[in-house]
Structure 1
Amino acid sequence: MTAHTTTPSRSRRRRRGATHSSGRRRRTGRVWAGLVALTVLGAAGFAAAQWAAPGDGQARTDAGQETAPDRKATSTPTTDAGSTQRAKPAPAPSRTTPTQPSTPTIPATGPGTFVTASGGSPKAGSGRALRYRVEVETGLDLSTADVAEQVDRVLADPRGWTADGTSAFQRISSGTADFVVKVATPGTVDKICATQGLDTGGEYNCSVNDDVMVNLKRWELATQYYADDVRSYRALIINHEVGHFLNHGHVTCPGSGQPAPAMMQQIKGLKGCVPNVWPYDAQGRLITGPAVP
């Protein structure tokens, strides 16, 4: 078989050339397409970056969530529970009118009947016990229990008459009493004291027979020397009038600046002494002075 070479025709050469030219155009198109794609992707990436960045009025939490800041947080108060509430104006300070101590009502006179304090007290003192009752005139605005408690404390105090070593006291509410402490209106005190010729003039106390009479005016108002310590003056009344029951007479001031004796009529003036309501001092010494009629 004889081999031979065929010379390509012109038309075939053009077809090949056309094929080569088409390949270059195809590659060029791909380059341009890539550049266009990169441009589009770049623009898209820039747009995505712009969207993802926090805009004005946003903040990020530690967890990465985007939250709008509370622009009212600096002006809206928050309760301990975390809920917000509207701020309330501070309340205006309240104005109170100072209360003046009320003056006790002192009836001029009463019915002359009495209410006995219930119960009793332990014996106070080392001598034979003198039994006593405490009574308050009917209708008075006084607690019989409170009056009895005050009388009990006075008679049991170591600076009282038990310091003489022979006197002792015990309160009872029934049975026979050695003496009776009675708080009554000025008119009733005057009537009872007058039975023994004593003129109390609606102002004073007295001791007659087995009655220790306490004027309601003195119990509630004391005197000018004890105006700021009414309870102390009540102790003086009890010690003075029970002292009379024990046969102690009046004495006067022993000297300027010294304690006024309990048996001194202090309501009429201290005469240079200083106020004192006890028969004995803390060392058990009798506080006394020159005797007076």
Structure 2
Amino acid sequence: MTTPTARSSGGPRRGRPSHAVRRDRRRTGPLWGALAALAVLVGVGLVAVYTASSGTHDGPADARGEPTERARSGRLGATAPAHGSQSPSPSPNPVTAGASPDTGTSATPSIPATGPGTFVTAAGSSTRVGSGTVLRYRVEVENGISLSTADVARQVERILADRRGWTTDGHSAFERVSSGQADFFVQVATPGTVDRICGQYGLRTRGRVNCNVAQHVMVNLRRWLLATPVYAKRVDDYRALIINHEVGHFLHHGHVTCPGPGRPAPVMMQQIDGMHGCLPNVWPYDEQGRYLTGPAVP
């Protein structure tokens, strides 16, 4: 900016006394001081505005110059809890947690709705149990299911070898094999695959129950993992009921109903549809070797 006492050349105006220049300088001295102070204030203000506007990118800083917790949370997309409140707990996994409509439990394993329909056979074999005609069977688990075939095979072996099981009839014997000829297959599969295989023989399992069709003892993965409300805390027992009920069908046993209030429920009763006054029971025979049955279902 050009002052009244100077030209672009920087010299005094021609024809005026030199003291006029000095007099003008005395008058403009305070003005220069005011302008300088104003410039300093403006500069400080601009720095302050810039600093404030820049701070919105990194969040407010603490005494060490590090972003505060609220600022760090803001960059992560989180909302700081209200004063006096607790931080929210992590959300449960939407796939592996949540209330089960079948059991009412708070944690539900991941259960695929359907699978490829191909199976992995449990390796090895078992010793023969029971007397009479030997029925060889294979244990298979559908591909994509997070179950150990060896573990499933051990459970099935234990169930079929139990003294309360079908070998007590005196003419049924079982032996697990992993190759060669088999009389039936115990197959644990997703609900969709069970529906598909059972449906080929005219049975509707609706994604919730097991079945036996031809050589297939089809075990619904949902039932294997979750049981039913009656057996929600006794899942291993319910697995025995599944195997005994469906193998019972393979042995040509039909459905029966409850023989009376307070009596053991027969394994050939469809217990998933209600107990009808009977007590939970998962074995065809009792400890004394008596067959547990009831009135035949028409």
Interval of TM-score (by shorter of Structure 1 and Structure 2) = 0.5 to 0.7
Which structure has the bigger radius of gyration? 1
Residue 213 of structure 2: aligned partner: 208
User: 1:150-229 maps to which residues of 2 (within 5 A)?
Assistant: 150-229=155-234
- Work out which of the residue numbers 130, 136, 144 in structure 2 matches 1:125: 130
Question: What is the CA distance between 1:102 and its match in structure 2?
Answer: 4.2
The answer on 1:146 being equivalent to 2:187 is no
SS state at 1:207 partner: strand
Q: Which residue does the alignment assign to 2:284?
A: 279
Q: Alignment partner for residue 231 of structure 1, among 216, 236, 239?
A: 236
Q: Secondary structure at the match of 1:239?
A: helix
- Find the counterpart in structure 1 of residue 21 from structure 2: none
* Aligned with residue 109 of structure 1, among 107, 114, 120: 114
- CA separation in 1, counterparts of 2:247 and 2:189? 16
Note the 1:43-58 alignment, pairs <5 A: none
Q: Which amino acid aligns with 1:120?
A: S
Runs of 4+ in 1 over 4 A off after TM superposition: 99-102
Percent of aligned pairs with the same residue? 71
1:151-207 deviation digits (Å, cap 9, x = unpaired) = 000000010000000000000000010000000000000000001100000001000
Q: State TM-score, norm by structure 2.
A: 0.64
Q: 2 CA distance for matches of 1:205 and 1:217?
A: 10
Structure 2 unpaired stretches of 5+: 1-91, 98-105
Work out the CA distance in 2 between the residues paired with 1:281 and 1:122: 24
Count of residue correspondences: 196
Task: Specify the code of the residue in structure 2 equivalent to 1:236.
Answer: L
Q: What CA distance in whole angstroms lies between the structure 2 residues aligned with 1:209 and 1:256?
A: 34
CA RMSD of aligned residues (A): 1.4
Name the SS for the 1:122 alignment partner.
coil
Deviation digits for residues 62-118 of structure 1 (CA, Å, limit 9, x no counterpart): xxxxxxxxxxxxxxxxxxxxxxxxxxxxxxxxxxxxx99742111000000000000
CA distance in 2, matches of 1:183, 1:277: 19
TM-score (structure 1 length as normaliser): 0.66
Distance, in Å, in 2 between the alignment partners of 1:153 and 1:109 is: 28
Alignment partner for residue 255 of structure 2, among 246, 250, 257?
250
The amino acid that maps onto 1:207 is N
SS at match of 1:244: helix
